[in-house]
A and B are shown apart, each in its own frame.
Chain A
Amino acid sequence: AQSVTQPDIHITVSEGASLELRCNYSYGATPYLFWYVQSPGQGLQLLLKYFSGDTLVQGIKGFEAEFKRSQSSFNLRKPSVHWSDAAEYFCAVGAHGITGKLIFGQGTTLQVKP
């Protein structure tokens, strides 16, 4: 069955510390992979995507993610977290063609300590 697992429901980091949010997926075909961020009361904003090519992808707001096919993972990283990064983060997987038919993970809530 196709699925996305975000093992960490809630993460707290200090401002200025590094961040890694984990994402593992189970998908039969070559996946398209996404990270979205959601601030309270808002819709989802795309942080970055992986379709093909370089397995290290850069996104907005200083985020990056690395696609590791052998580990079925697509972890999100940021070297130095800012207080404004506090939000909920969703990993999602889709297929070539209708790339909006996404399977989402349950999300990771990031809290940033001053």
Chain B
Amino acid sequence: NAGVTQTPKFRILKIGQSMTLQCTQDMNHNYMYWYRQDPGMGLKLIYYSVGAGITDKGEVPNGYNVSRSTTEDFPLRLELAAPSQTSVYFCASSPQNSPLHFGNGTRLTVT
């Protein structure tokens, strides 16, 4: 059972480039989330989804977009990368009223 899988593990982007962070889960969880973790800080919620076709903003959504076309996949899109988006990005999933299962993260540097 793979759990939550994130790709890539590392990425370096130039300012203004775009990319998609991939996240897939094989646990049939309805709820999926994207968090970012900045150095010395806790995680902050970017976007979340309660099921296929339904997404909503979290605490820090600016500069990001998401889609949820299937239960398994929840990609995060950065359209115009900025240095402020340098961070570690974690995808997570859960059933309702249950704790999160986290992926191992994507470390993104924007220069």
Contacts and interface: CB of A to CB of B under 8 A. Distances in A.
**Do A and B assemble together?**
yes
Interface residues of B, number: 25
B96 A90 contact: no
B42 A99 contact: no
Contacts of B105: 41-43
A46 B103 contact: no
Contacts of A103: 42
Interface in A80-99: 90, 92, 96-99
Of the four ranges (under 10, 10 to 19, 20 to 34, 35 or more), the interface on chain A belongs to 20 to 34
Nearest to A99: B97
Contacts of B19: none
B99 A49 contact: yes
Interface of B: 4, 31, 33, 40-45, 48, 50, 58, 90, 92-94, 96-100, 102-105
